[in-house]
Amino acid sequence: MTGVTGDTGDTSFGTAPGPLKTRRSSVAAEIVPWDSAPSGHDDLCSLTLPTAVVAHRSRTKLR
C-alpha cells in the first residue's frame, strides 16, 4: 500500500481473486489455566527452578 495506490483490498498481484478462491475463516480462543512447571522442577535438564519461577509458575494462556 502506498499513498498513490491506496488500499487495494484483498488482491494478489494487483487483481482480486475469484469468489471460488476466496476463503474466510475464524479462530476461536479460550482462556485456560497453565502451569509451566507442574512437577516444580526442570524435567528436561533435571535442574531445580529458581524460587521466583516456582512461586509464580501458574498463569493463564489462550488456547
The three three-digit cell numbers of residue 31, written as one number: 482462556
Instruction: Specify whether the CB–CB gap between 35 and 60 falls below 8 A.
Output: no
- The structure's pTM equals 0.42
Distance CA 30, CA 60 (A): 10
Q: pLDDT grade, residue 12 (50/70/90)?
A: low
Compute the average pLDDT of residues 9-18.
66
Can you tell me whether residue 51 is helix, strand or coil? helix
